[in-house]
Amino acid sequence: MTLSQELFERGLIEKTTSEELLPKLDQGGLTFYVGFDPTADSLHVGQLAVFNLMALLQAQGHSPVGLMGGATGMIGDPGGKSQERNLLSEAQLQENIQGIAAQIHRFLAFEGGPKARIVNNYDWFKGIGFISFLRDIGKHFSVNQMIQRDSVKSRLEREGAGISYTEFSYMLLQAYDFVVLFQNHGVTLQLGGADQWGNIVSGIDLGRRLGTAPLYGLTLPLITKGDGQKFGKSESGTVWLSPEKTSPYEFYQFFLNQADEDVVRFLKVLTQVPLAEIKELEAQVLAEPHKRAAQKRLAEDLTRRVHGPEALAKVQRASKMLFGEKISDLDEALITQIFKDVPSVQLERARLEAGLPLIDALFEVGAAKSKGEARKLIQQGGAYVNNEPQKELEFLLRPEHLVSVRHLVLRTGKKNYALLEFS
């Protein structure tokens, strides 16, 4: 199977700007780029598909360029936003760029062969004067066409929102990026999400007017979930790649809990698990869904890739412990690892010795929003001490309930853990 066939098979190609691109993809040797907007100091799982595509292309002998939008990040892409964006400070942008660049390093090879590079468009925009930009670049854009763009149109039609001249200019900047990257690095292909089509085409047009070699674009489909909800959000919000923002444990659980109807598609788009193996997993989902072999494969693969094999081993151990039986006899090191990401609270040891009401403990650790709620949880059988249900309203926690020298594990519901630490 050729690379382009595989990419279609995996659902990584929504459309390309030209058929000519496909044989070039199969051949290798292109230099391509993807732009990243530094709106946060981390990327999120929604962007994993692009990474995967970049890695697949690199494996085929293409050279990836990750473009950090140091300049464009100061402006903001009008697409997809209903409102004018808040401008970020320069220091914040710097920090975000560094965070994102570090994450890209986990997915691509920066040494040997067709090595990956990271560039920042601030480097070329900072030296350009307004006049020369208008004369050399702005000249090639028709406002008539620009206002036809959906991203602009929707903002113009929306009452009260409007669009600033600044954001309106965004597409010129992105188009210019493509041309500069061609001139400086020989980039001839731009990848992006389905929403980037317009911006990519702008770059290609500009290239043609300025006499570059033919440029190409390829967009990825939007990742959707079977139930129509947006992919990439969990109850606790966006699932990030950075372990500081989303713990490896949550990250792993997020993928483990994907619906049967989505999991096969996600395996294809987000991982490099061979298609033959995915086919087998698909059969298993149908035959024995309760084993969730496909979800496990997905969660393992991505956790290993994003957080590393050690982190994977830890979260797997943690998952076993958290969804297992009664918790007892843990050593300090293990308990802090497993419960690192769980809310915890430090309490006086004397309170435990005196007998600490379970109601107070649930409230203080934040497992219940009020004591009344804690009371109801216990009455309904939704409160657990060391994974054992505790229905006695007046229950007092005592030193004998400790599972380690100074910890005690509370749980509400199926999987909301909280750790009490006594000093």
Partner RNA sequence: GGGGAGAUUCCCGAGUGGCCAAAGGGAACAGACUGUAAAUCUGUCGGCUCCGCCUUCGAAGGUUCGAAUCCUUCUCUCCCCA
* Residues in the annotated binding site for ATP: 233
Residue span 9-28 as binding mask against RNA, x where in contact by CB under 7 A, dash where not? --------------------
Shortest approach of RNA to residue 260 CB, angstroms?
5
Site for RNA (CB under 7 A): how many residues?
29
299 within 8 A of 271, measured Cβ to Cβ: no
Q: Which of 99, 114, 192, 382 binds RNA (CB under 7 A)?
A: 382
29 binds RNA (CB under 7 A): no
CA distance 420 to 404: 11
224 binds RNA (CB under 7 A): no
CA distance 315 to 249: 5
From the list 127-135, 139-147, 252-260, 268-276, the region that binds RNA by CB under 7 A is 252-260
From the list 8-16, 119-127, 131-139, 254-262, the region that binds RNA by CB under 7 A is 254-262
Both structure tokens of 210: 């300025």
CA distance 69 to 53: 20
Q: Which of 213, 222, 323, 398 binds RNA (CB under 7 A)?
A: 323
CA distance 377 to 407: 22
From the list 46-54, 325-333, 397-405, 412-420, the region that binds RNA by CB under 7 A is 412-420
Q: Which of 23, 29, 372, 399 binds RNA (CB under 7 A)?
A: 372
Shortest approach of RNA to residue 274 CB, angstroms?
22
174 binds RNA (CB under 7 A): no
Shortest approach of RNA to residue 325 CB, angstroms?
13
From the list 86-94, 103-111, 120-128, 363-371, the region that binds RNA by CB under 7 A is 363-371
| 34, 11, 311, 315: CA torsion to nearest 10 | 140
For the chain, state the CA radius of gyration. Answer: 26
Shortest approach of RNA to residue 319 CB, angstroms?
4
Q: Which of 37, 373, 393, 406 binds RNA (CB under 7 A)?
A: 373
Q: Which of 257, 279, 331, 398 binds RNA (CB under 7 A)?
A: 257
292 binds RNA (CB under 7 A): yes
228 binds RNA (CB under 7 A): no
Shortest approach of RNA to residue 368 CB, angstroms?
8
306 binds RNA (CB under 7 A): no
User: Considering beta carbons, is residue 65 or 374 the nearer one to RNA?
Assistant: 374
256 binds RNA (CB under 7 A): yes
376 binds RNA (CB under 7 A): yes
User: Considering beta carbons, is residue 68 or 385 the nearer one to RNA?
Assistant: 385
295 binds RNA (CB under 7 A): yes
From the list 124-132, 209-217, 289-297, 330-338, the region that binds RNA by CB under 7 A is 289-297
380 binds RNA (CB under 7 A): yes
402 within 8 A of 422, measured Cβ to Cβ: yes
- Binding-site members are 33, 170, 174, 233
From the list 46-54, 108-116, 118-126, 406-414, the region that binds RNA by CB under 7 A is 406-414
CA distance 277 to 25: 24
From the list 145-153, 302-310, 336-344, 408-416, the region that binds RNA by CB under 7 A is 408-416
317 binds RNA (CB under 7 A): no
95 within 8 A of 62, measured Cβ to Cβ: no
**Contact residues: RNA, CB under 7 A:** 235, 253, 256-257, 259-260, 289-290, 292, 295, 319, 323, 363, 369-373, 375-377, 380-382, 412-416
